[in-house]
Amino acid sequence: MSVTLTATDGRIIGERAAATRRRLLDATVKLLNTEGVLDLKVVDITREAGAAPATFYQYFADLDSAILALVDDATEDERPLAAMLDAPWTTAADWVRCREFVDAYGVYWNDHQRVITLRNLRADEGDASFRGARVRADLLIIRKMADMVRASQEAGRLPGLLDPFATAAGMRAMADRLFQHEASIRLRGTTREGLRTTIAAILFHTLSGIAPPVSG
Amino acid sequence: MSVTLTATDGRIIGERAAATRRRLLDATVKLLNTEGVLDLKVVDITREAGAAPATFYQYFADLDSAILALVDDATEDERPLAAMLDAPWTTAADWVRCREFVDAYGVYWNDHQRVITLRNLRADEGDASFRGARVRADLLIIRKMADMVRASQEAGRLPGLLDPFATAAGMRAMADRLFQHEASIRLRGTTREGLRTTIAAILFHTLSGIAPPVSG
DNA sequence: TGTACATCAGTGAACGCGCGTTCACTGATGTAC
DNA sequence: TGTACATCAGTGAACGCGCGTTCACTGATGTAC
């Protein structure tokens, strides 16, 4: 998975330069988290990273390509998550694994929330690079979930009128949004545990067709 | 529901001015749809509306207040949708009403998609006005759905471990996202009908605890 | 170990564009008599 | 019905700021001998 990094002029960069590049990316994430997606500026990023504006352009052609690098980071972190779905949930005992999956998903989401939000925004607006990145990431998880729906339908545990792909996409959307709004949902009296158990219960039932156990 | 409109200087505006204001709002929606959320400019809006930049500031203090006016429009359109949930789904026959709800939701979503996306973005970034607007709109639908979950739990059709509010929020998120990505989901072989039936089936089962009928 | 040179990495300062916003103004519409 | 005036509505042109981006440069690190 190790990639040879190059500067915008094509030069292969050394250790020190790689560290600077990383600092710029970290600063970008930090600003996305504190300032938000709508007014992210190259100048601010370099200031945050303690570098001159010109430095940014040594490593990235523009803001978009820096964001796309962060998007790739996020996608990599999604692979282990997808691997957790390799073994489908087929008995009530698998509830435990479903619950573990939700916890892992929460960590992933927390790390990359803003980058993913921005990626989706740019993809919705029709940018081809961001579209491709989203599709690639989405498929990692959704395909596995869709497989599970299909298997559950064949086993007679789920109704045939569910479209497996759409169901999987919907479940992912549900999880994303609940994590995203965790803060405001908790304001309304739900605990962190209660929220995650709810996400897990809906996932479990909708994908496997098995009712979750009576107590989480 | 009729509101007296005022210009930024406080004057009450007449018919002609109200039409201009409306033209500016319509142009804003149009640009949101064609250009996207990230580079919406006052200058572009006025150009699209066939007016001078200065005209914009006669009706709106800034871009945000124009967006908030559009957000209010969207929220109004959500009321009839919420009313459809007044009578809960308690028998398999209510599947028809669930399916109608999903269709109505699709129309609403299609009309206001971009405005809602922008509202959510600004709310996530912490803007108090947009936060308030989102909460107000969300509650219209989510409260009704949460009531349904609670009733289904009391009737023994749904497990108690589901948090009603979180479940409702998740269902709304799922529906939103599936409509939002309808285009890309359909690329993968799902029909428009199939998608809507899938949304309806998940909603129906998750909120009422009743399995949807075998054929949609 | 020291020195000269090559290459790598980072920067200060500036240019130019485009956007938000305002001001003093013009044109359109309504009203009194 | 026409005219004078008041009010409503819309605008052209400009200012100024801030951001993206670049260029010629300086400083840091590595390497040969």
**Which of B190, B199, B211 faces A159 most closely, judged by CB atoms?**
B211
Phi and psi of A174, rounded to 5°? -60, -50
CATH 1.10.357.10 positions along chain B are 64-208
**Does pLDDT of A1 surpass 50?**
no
**Mean pLDDT (whole number) for A82-100:** 97
**Mean pLDDT (whole number) for A8-19:** 90
**Does pLDDT of A182 surpass 90?**
no
- State which nucleotides on strand D lie below 7 Å from a protein beta carbon: 8-14, 18-24, 29-30
**Mean pLDDT (whole number) for B185-189:** 85
Residue whose tokens read 């142009």: B27
Closest CA–CA distance from residue B84 to any residue of chain A (Å):
22
| Percent of chain B whose predicted confidence (pLDDT) is above 90 | 83
- Nearest residue to D20 via alpha carbon and C1': A42
A contacts of B159 (beta carbons < 8 Å):
201, 211-212, 214
Confidence tier at A215 by pLDDT (50, 70, 90): low
List, for residues B21-42, the tens digit of each pLDDT value. 999 999 999 999 999 899 899 9
List, for residues A135-166, the tens digit of each pLDDT value. 999 999 999 999 999 999 999 999 999 999 99
CA distance B81 to A208: 31
CA distance A185 to A198: 12
Superfamily of domain A64-208: Tetracycline Repressor, domain 2 (1.10.357.10)
**Does pLDDT of B1 surpass 50?**
no
3-state secondary structure of B12: strand
**Does pLDDT of B215 surpass 80?**
no
Confidence tier at B124 by pLDDT (50, 70, 90): confident
Q: Which residues touch strand D (CB under 7 A)?
A: A 14-16, 41-44, 53-54, 56-57, 62-63; B 7, 11, 13-17, 19-20, 50-55, 58
List, for residues B80-95, the tens digit of each pLDDT value. 999 999 999 999 999 9
**Does pLDDT of A99 surpass 50?**
yes
pTM confidence score: 0.92
Closest CA–CA distance from residue B83 to any residue of chain A (Å):
22
**Does pLDDT of B74 surpass 80?**
yes
Q: What is the pLDDT of residue A216?
A: 44
**Mean pLDDT (whole number) for B152-166:** 96
> What are the helix (H) ranges across chain B?
15-35, 42-49, 53-59, 63-83, 95-124, 128-154, 164-180, 182-187, 192-208
Check CB contact under 8 Å for A206 and B211: no
CA distance B168 to B170: 5
Task: Please answer whether residues B146 and B165 qualify as being in contact, where contact means their C-beta atoms are separated by less than 8 angstroms.
Answer: yes
Check CB contact under 8 Å for B206 and A206: yes
HEC sequence for A52-98: CHHHHHHHCCCHHHHHHHHHHHHHHHHHHHHHCCCCCCCCHHHHHHH
CATH number of B1-61: 1.10.10.60
CB contact residues (below 8 A), chain A span 19-38, against chain B: 35-38
Nucleotide minimizing C1' to CA distance for residue B13: D8
List, for residues A73-82, the tens digit of each pLDDT value. 999 999 999 9
**Does pLDDT of A3 surpass 70?**
no
Give the tokens for residue A72: 């790739």
**Does pLDDT of B188 surpass 90?**
no
CATH 1.10.10.60 positions along chain A are 1-61
Please count the other Cβ atoms lying within 10 Å of the Cβ belonging to residue B77: 14
